[in-house]
Structure 1
Amino acid sequence: MAETKFLVTGGAGFIGSEIVKQLLDKGYLVRVADDLSKKDAKVDSRAQFVKVDLTDYQKTKPVFDGIDIVINAAAKIGGIGYFHKYPATILSENNKIYSSTFEAAVTAKTKRIVYISSSMVFESTFFFPSKEEDLFKIPPPVTSYGFSKLTGEWYCKAFWDQYKLPYSICRPFNAYGINEFPEREPGFAHVIPDLIRKILSGQYPLELLGDGEQTRCFTHVSDVASGIIAVSLHPKGENQDFNIGTDHEIKMIDLASKIWNIMELGKPFKVKFVSGFKYDIRKRIPDVQKVKKLINWQARVNFDNGLKEVINWLAQQKAAGKLDFPQKKLAN
């Protein structure tokens, strides 16, 4: 076990850092490659760390030396607001990362590359719950981010066809958990830290983007990481794609109400619906039977417990002055 050496690109990010932690806890040798561009980047001190621009092949190539399995979590990523503001950056930078990392993996004769895709590849679907094979029955994604993540999946297949580079594709569905900070600009963060930040800052009524009827299935980051690791180590994970998540669907209005009630604010829950973004997914629910049957994996963290953990953690960050937002008292 300990002889297997992992490289986690983007290993200082939200999902990547949890993957690194779990691998190290299991006794694996881990190298982290990251440019530390995210403000909440964190590197486990037990890992070997290389600060590197992964868009540059010449700088990336030596990072892959001696690696058995690459978990490719590096990408330009953000909430729906980020997708809309930086579509060209997302396409351009992610494509450079794919080219650089996949070519480096071939040169280093890596045993497998595990690509972290996204549920956004299903943004145009009309099949629910969405199965892995549905991807070939639906239109391509309409956002640059969704299209970019789908492009990464085609890198996997193309590099297998031409170079016989073994791959696994993992598609996390709406990861949440501690160590993910909210952003100042609306929609730039993922919805759970964004809603908690609004409440902690005293926003009342609570503003919701769109009509609140959008649905998601949230997966705790520890479950996402354990699923990715399970796929990366399993023989049946090779040259396969997997949805990593839960099928517990919740509306955004119900999510907001749940968070509000957990926080026990002493005020009635009240919302104000504000204009959403041009491209917002109305419904997202994965079929998770494939990963359960082939890999014998399923998510385990109870959603209410996970939410409480995130709420408590962000409240602690606020108390420590680590949330860079103007704080207000709740309005009367």
Structure 2
Amino acid sequence: MTGAAGQDGMGGHEEGNNVKVLVTGAAGFLGGYVVEELLARGYTVVGLDNHSKYGQPARTLPAHERWTSVVGDAADKDLLYELAADCDHFIANAALIGGVRYMKDLAYDILATNNRLVSAAAEVGMRRHGEKLRKVTYVSSSMVYEGHPGTGFREGNELEVAPPSTAYGFQKLAVEYYAKAAWSQYGLRYTIVRPFNCVGAGERHAPHVSTSSDEQQRMVRGHVIPDFVERALRRENPFRVLGDGQQYRTFTYARDMARGIVLAMESEAAFNEDFNLSGRHGCTIAELARFVWDRVNPGEPISIQYEQAFPNDVRIRKPDTRKASEVLGFVADTPLDVMVDEVVAWVRETEFAAADQ
């Protein structure tokens, strides 16, 4: 695994089983990678998830003596308080999220549900912080920079531009205000991490069906790489791309992202700080479509059909990551082909195994 125990960061492997971490959203796509990273570094982990998105964990974690999985609602403050007992760290990762389609269809649910989740995390953290709990690490989002017009946006710029226009982006900015308010009033220390375009195995078809028949046809999955992979495996040609294809994204391997989150959790220099966590490799969406097609269907020509973009589609998402590098020692260099190949293998296994037999 990337970021083996004790390789970089502070305290995980050396402290071993004496350090206990509570992770909410532990059965989700990113949460599963975070749990694996924590276990590899020697932590004892308690994971909470209500399985609301997929019905079952996105990726099944093997049995482990330092791993406890609990099925329940991360907005349940009494349950959360009980699970946080004797915890040194709390990674508040639970959120209602599902890509750009969810942002449009479930705007109110995203706002209301995620506010309940973050308020529960902050309140339980405040009640437990006089005990062993050192801080809460909050998982925010790159969408806090939704209103930024250019590239290279860095920590602090989210306060200098217009607030996000989407309910999801606005709520993720609210997560950061919750963190700062809990520190200001109650002294609960925090770290904020902002993932950028995380890529890996684990995203399945969520049970949500778009309320618009037109929208149902636009994306088969919530995020662009697994969506492109599934449609490439189905040999969709012409290959549909939303917008003009010139939107730019950087992509981050999920194992790298999990390593960055754990580094941020561990570091004493990260107290009351925020970090952009992003890979170094990026491309336009049109380039991505061709790249994915070539990985799945090498040598076959592709014709791209450009369609109307989703509302509020961010044109350029290319952050400045120097702070994470300088403070945490975090650099994400996994190339795009490794990320895409892992998603291809995952989609083949979960969606195409029966058809291939």
What TM-score bracket applies, with the shorter chain setting the length?
Answer: over 0.9
Moved >3 Å (runs of 4+):
182-188
1:214 aligned residue: 247
Verify: 1:11 aligned to 2:31, yes or no: no
User: How many Å separate the matches in 2 of 1:243 and 1:206?
Assistant: 32
2:5 aligned residue: none
Alpha-carbon contact 1:117-1:169 (below 8 Å) kept: yes
Alpha-carbon contact 1:80-1:277 (below 8 Å) kept: yes
- Match for 2:52 among 37, 58, 62? 37
Give, in angstroms, the shift of residue 105 of structure 1: 1.2
Verify: 1:175 aligned to 2:208, yes or no: no
User: How many Å separate the matches in 1 of 2:228 and 2:339?
Assistant: 15
User: How many Å separate the matches in 2 of 1:201 and 1:179?
Assistant: 19
- Match for 1:248 among 277, 281, 296? 281
Give, in angstroms, the shift of residue 247 of structure 1: 3.6
Give, in angstroms, the shift of residue 127 of structure 1: 3.9
User: How many Å separate the matches in 2 of 1:43 and 1:304?
Assistant: 24
1:57 aligned residue: 77
User: How many Å separate the matches in 1 of 2:53 and 2:298?
Assistant: 31
User: How many Å separate the matches in 1 of 2:330 and 2:118?
Assistant: 27
- Mark the runs of 5 or more structure 2 residues left unpaired by the alignment: 1-14, 210-215
User: How many Å separate the matches in 1 of 2:136 and 2:73?
Assistant: 19
Letter in structure 1 aligned against 2:37: Q
Verify: 1:98 aligned to 2:118, yes or no: yes
Per-residue CA deviation, residues 97-133 of structure 1 (Å, 9 max, x unaligned), is: 1111111111122211000110000010024211102
- Mark the runs of 5 or more structure 1 residues left unpaired by the alignment: 322-326, 328-332
2:182 aligned residue: 159
Letter in structure 2 aligned against 1:201: R
Q: 1:43 to 1:160 in 2, by over 3 A?
A: farther
Residue range with higher mean Cα deviation, 47-56 or 190-199: 47-56
Alpha-carbon contact 1:127-1:134 (below 8 Å) kept: no
Give, in angstroms, the shift of residue 313 of structure 1: 2.6
Verify: 1:132 aligned to 2:152, yes or no: no
Per-residue CA deviation, residues 229-260 of structure 1 (Å, 9 max, x unaligned), is: 01110111111000001243310000000011
User: How many Å separate the matches in 1 of 2:95 and 2:279?
Assistant: 23
User: How many Å separate the matches in 2 of 1:112 and 1:43?
Assistant: 28
Alpha-carbon contact 1:32-1:48 (below 8 Å) kept: yes
User: How many Å separate the matches in 1 of 2:345 and 2:77?
Assistant: 41
2:106 aligned residue: 86
Query: How many percent identity over aligned positions?
Result: 34
Letter in structure 1 aligned against 2:117: I
User: How many Å separate the matches in 1 of 2:306 and 2:299?
Assistant: 21
1:27 aligned residue: 42
Q: For residue 132 of structure 1, give the secondary structure of its aligned residue in structure 2.
A: coil
Verify: 1:309 aligned to 2:342, yes or no: yes
Alpha-carbon contact 1:43-1:49 (below 8 Å) kept: no
User: How many Å separate the matches in 1 of 2:247 and 2:205?
Assistant: 20
Give, in angstroms, the shift of residue 38 of structure 1: 2.2
2:315 aligned residue: 282
User: How many Å separate the matches in 1 of 2:160 and 2:151?
Assistant: 13
Q: For residue 179 of structure 1, give the secondary structure of its aligned residue in structure 2.
A: coil
User: How many Å separate the matches in 2 of 1:126 and 1:226?
Assistant: 29
Give, in angstroms, the shift of residue 43 of structure 1: 5.1
1:67 aligned residue: 87
User: How many Å separate the matches in 1 of 2:76 and 2:241?
Assistant: 39
Alpha-carbon contact 1:119-1:171 (below 8 Å) kept: yes
The count of aligned residue pairs is: 323
Residue range with higher mean Cα deviation, 180-189 or 92-101: 180-189
Q: For residue 327 of structure 2, give the secondary structure of its aligned residue in structure 1.
A: helix
Q: For residue 100 of structure 1, give the secondary structure of its aligned residue in structure 2.
A: helix
User: How many Å separate the matches in 1 of 2:19 and 2:333?
Assistant: 26
1:259 aligned residue: 292
Verify: 1:227 aligned to 2:260, yes or no: yes
Alpha-carbon contact 1:11-1:43 (below 8 Å) kept: no
2:141 aligned residue: 118
TM-score normalised per structure 2: 0.87
User: How many Å separate the matches in 2 of 1:139 and 1:57?
Assistant: 33
Letter in structure 2 aligned against 1:123: E
Alpha-carbon contact 1:177-1:309 (below 8 Å) kept: yes
Letter in structure 1 aligned against 2:294: N
Letter in structure 1 aligned against 2:325: K
Q: 1:127 to 1:133 in 2, by over 3 A?
A: farther
Letter in structure 1 aligned against 2:110: I
